[in-house]
Amino acid sequence: MQVNHQSIFPTIVSDLKLPAFSSIKDSLIQWIYNYKENTEGVAKSNRGGWQSPDDFWTEESFKEFYDYMSVGFSMWNSAYSGYSYSISNMWINVNKPGDYNTLHVHPLSKMSGCFYIKVPENSGSIIFECPSYYVNFNLHKSVNSELADQFNFYSSWCMDPCEGTMLFFPPHLQHEVETNQSNEDRITIAFNLD
């Protein structure tokens, strides 16, 4: 007799590498540091570090970079759904050594994501928590490792992103960013889509 396993109700997390990121990286980082120098940050999930206001992307001087990011939004949207998504808000994160982001969600949006701009080695992974871990606690503890690996059936899932990558995930997924243990800033742009 054979036991068959199926995965139902999966959570889809998508990532894509934007083309020719190296051609825009340095000027984007310079724009971010110039903006940060002249803009007061906000405190949300960040512990230490700096988060921009969530409407920075409407600045005329950011248009070149917004247009570049829009390529990624279009690529993801065409592969993910037939619906049209638009930006509801977007903010910059600059985490210096020792900074991190606490566990949080992105309520009131349809999809969330992050664009990785500067990610030094040991600058912190993003960790997603299983939304059903509490109700499936005993099952999570009893599933063998082969089955857990086959279906990504973990209590949490860790990703070490690469520069130039966009990550898309459902906004209800609790996530955090580990402490930046490098000697450099970690720079990302987070966003929500409606």
What pLDDT digit, counting tens, does each position of 15-50 carry? 999 999 999 999 999 999 999 999 999 988 889 999
Output the pLDDT for position 133. Answer: 80
Pick from 185, 45, 40, 46: which is nearest to 117 by CA? 185
CA distances from 25 to 51, 72, 110, 190 (A): 19, 15, 28, 16
Residue 55, phi then psi, degrees to nearest 5: -120, 15
In angstroms, the CA 49 to CA 20 distance is 28
Element (H, E) at 138: helix 137-142
Residues of the chain with confidence (pLDDT) below 50? none
Q: How far apart are CA 103 and CA 90, in angstroms?
A: 18
Residue 121's pLDDT is what?
A: 96
Structure tokens at 60: 């005329």
User: pTM score, two decimals?
Assistant: 0.93
Say what the pLDDT of residue 9 is.
86
pLDDT value, residue 92: 98
Instruction: Tell which residue, 193, 187, 150, has the closest CA to residue 169.
Output: 193
Q: If you search the block for the tokens 């005993």, which residue do you land on?
A: 138
Q: Which domains does the chain have, with CATH numbers?
A: 14-125+160-193 (2.60.120.620)
Enter the tokens of residue 177: 């960013």
Query: What pLDDT was estimated at residue 135?
Result: 80
Nearest to 188 by CA among 60, 103, 99: 99
Show the tokens assigned to 54: 């969530």
Query: Phi first, then psi: what are they for 5, rounded to 5°?
Result: -120, 140
Whole-number pLDDT of residue 156: 92
